Each structure stands twice: as structure tokens, then as C-alpha cells.
Amino acid sequence: MAKQSPIRFGAIGPGGAGTCRIRELAAHPLGVQVVAAVDPQPDRLDNLEKCIGYGFTRYTGQQDFKKMIDECELDAVGIFTPHSLHLEHVEYAIAKGMNVLIEKPMVYGSANAMRVCRAMEASGKVGIVHYQRHYEAQYIMARELIRKGVIGDVKTFFVYMAQDWSGRGWRGEPEFSCGGQLNDSGSHYQDILLWMTDLLPVSVEGNADQYHKGVHKDVEINGSFNVELSNGASGRILIMGDIPGGFIDDVRIVGTKGELMMSTMHGRRLLHRNEKGEVNDVPLNCPKGWPNSPCDNFVKLIRSKVRTNRVPFIFGVRVATLTDAMLRSARSGGKKVECADLLAEAGASMSDLT
């Protein structure tokens, strides 16, 4: 049988995260050829060439992503640029019929996210958001147990992540960052809560500050929020950027019949507290055929080797809505923000999040 020609891939913004993703794509056994890349910093393109071991067509203008897409007969693009730039990049790529792998957070703002998601779905192409926790065993298994009713109905939750996050470079500039740490690493934890519980965000009330090691920054660094979900469960999301040194998290989902616990303090484990209060390790046996990563899922979907997209754009919309609500509540001095009101601005309602 004739060998299939490789997927023709173009990269937009191959910086830190992008280079890592592109390396994985370029080594995929189903065949991805990096045909072109665009980045205003030529050293990023040099580095990418070194990492993948071959050359590609280069573009360096701020708007050259359009030229790249128009000129290079691409099948797919990867969007790895600073947060606020995702929007124009993804809208153009979808309009030109590309399969799209996009870094988190998909785009800022509930209304933008809804528009992009609808366009992606209408295009019939593959669109996947790079939330890698959908491919990590402890979260996959927690989701499976919640779906099977092992902890009963979800009643409350505690979702905490802390990182030494000073907002370096574009991350510290409001124009690019779109919400500091709440929208950066915090995005993963909003996502994982919604994904594991399969619930939607309903309302948010909380506060944030902009301090890192006593220095006031231009973007949100730390925030604490009470979040209500669509089954009536309420709990806390705590996103911190002001911890010296490392990275820790602690995620607990509490139901009527037990609790699930995942934390960097336990290693890559999933602990289950049953109704008797006994705590046991859950074996981390992922369902057969689950892709290894967003990149793996992306390539296999394009090649029709798997049918399920584990992070379709609707997850980007759910998270954008929750992040939007968190930021608006914090910026209004802690007022309660209803997600339905944010969606209404996009001419949408809660049912559009399902």
C-alpha cells in the first residue's frame, strides 16, 4: 500500500511551549512534516530547526501567519503565541480550513470563545485545546469514578494550585496576558475541575491581588473564589502565583458518598476516601486506546485512527466563561458574577456550553 503523505503542519509562535509540542508532532509515527513556521523572533525559528533537525519555510512578520497559511498548502496549524494573540490567529486558521491545535487558554472572554468554538465546529476540521491533564491518568481515572457514581453526587470541591509566578515578559503585560496567573496556569485547574465533574460554571464570587514577593504587578497573581456549578455544588478555587520556589497543587472533589484527592504532595496518585472514611489508592489503569497527549490525539483524529477528541473547543469556552467570571468578580471588588450573563453577551445561554 502506498505510504500516506505526511500531515503538512505550520507553527505560529514556536517559543517555549510551541517548540516542545512541535518536537512531539514531528516525531509522531503517523507522519507530520513541519512545512513552515512564523515567529517575529528569528532565534526561535533557528532553535526550532535545531530541535527537529530539518529546515522549513520561515516567516517573521507580526501578520505573516496569514501569508504562511495562504502560501504553504497546510493541513494543520499549531497556535502557541501569547494569550491575546490566539484570537486573531485561530479565527484566520479556521476561516482557511485548517485543523487547529491551540495552546491553552484557547481565547480570552466568553463571547470570543463561543464565536471561535462555533466556527471550529462548523468547519468540520479537528480543533483541540492543549489541556494536557485530560491525558494524565489520575485525572482520567477520577473522571471515570465520578461518572460511575463512586463518590455519589458532587457536593463541594477544593482546587488549589500555587506556583512562583512573577509574570515575566508578555505574561506580565495586561494587553497580552488577559488575566495574569488566573488565566495562565490557573486555566488548567479551572478546566480540570469542569472536565472531571462534567459540570458547568454557574456563578463566581471572589477576589484577587497583584502582588508577587511584595511587589505590585500589572496583572492578577493570586485569587480565591467561591464557585457554583450546574448541579448546585459550590466550592473553592484558589490560584496562587506568590509561593517561593516550586509548584504545588491539591485537588479534592467531595461527593455524597466519598472523596477523591489528587495532589503533587501525593505524587501522581489518586486517593479515594470511601463512606467509612478509609483512604485507598485507586489503580491508574487508563481506558484502552486513550491517546497519550493532545498532540497524539490531534494527529490520530486527523488520520481517523481515533474518533474521540478529548479536548474539543467547547472546553475552551467553558473555561473562558469561568475565567471571565472570576476576573470580573475580582475586578468589581468581589461582586457575584453569573455566567449566564456573560454568555448572553455572546447571544448564547448555558445550554450552549453542553
Ligand X SMILES: NC(=O)c1ccc[n+]([C@@H]2O[C@H](COP(=O)([O-])OP(=O)(O)OC[C@H]3O[C@@H](n4cnc5c(N)ncnc54)[C@H](O)[C@@H]3O)[C@@H](O)[C@H]2O)c1
Residues that bind ligand X (CB under 6 A): 12-13, 15-18, 38-41, 44, 62, 65, 80-83, 85, 103-104, 130, 132, 169, 184
Kindly give, in sequence order, each residue whose CB lies less than 8 Å from that of residue 162, ignoring residues fewer than 6 positions away: 238, 240, 241, 242, 243, 247, 248, 249
Structure-derived torsion over alpha carbons of residues 150, 204, 162, 139, reported in degrees to the nearest 10? 30
Round to whole Å and give the CA distance between 131 and 310: 9
Distance CA(262)–CA(126), nearest Å, equals: 31
- Peptide bond connecting 105 to the previous residue in cis, omega within 30 degrees of 0: yes
- Least separation in angstroms between CB 44 and ligand X: 4
Q: Grid coordinates in use for 216?
A: 505590585
Inter-residue contact 219 to 174 (CB < 8 Å): yes
Q: Is 92 or 157 the residue whose CB approaches ligand X more closely?
A: 92
Nearer to ligand X, 104 or 272 (CB): 104
CB of 237 to ligand X, least distance (A): 18
Q: How far is the CB of 351 from ligand X (least distance, A)?
A: 28
Give 331's Cβ-side CA count (13 Å radius): 13
Which of residues 13 and 291 has its CB atom nearest to ligand X in the complex?
A: 13
> Which lies closer to ligand X via its Cβ, residue 104 or residue 310?
104
Shortest reach from residue 234's CB to ligand X, in Å: 28
Work out how close the CB of 133 gets to ligand X at its nearest, in angstroms, rounded to a whole number: 9
Whole-number Å distance between alpha carbons of 326 and 321: 9
- Grid cell of 59 as nine digits: 516567516
Minimum CB separation of residue 328 from ligand X in Å reads: 20
Give the residue with the Cβ less far from ligand X, 165 or 225. 165
149 or 169: CB nearest ligand X: 169
- Terminal Cα-to-Cα distance of the chain (whole angstroms): 41
Tell me whether residue 63 or residue 280 sits nearer to ligand X (CB atom): 63
Q: How far is the CB of 343 from ligand X (least distance, A)?
A: 23
Q: What are phi and psi of 221, to 5 degrees?
A: -115, -40
Q: How far is the CB of 260 from ligand X (least distance, A)?
A: 22
Which residue, 42 or 232, is less far from ligand X as judged by CB? Answer: 42
- Number of residue whose CB is nearest ligand X: 15
Q: How far is the CB of 104 from ligand X (least distance, A)?
A: 5
* Residue with smaller CB distance to ligand X, 41 or 349: 41
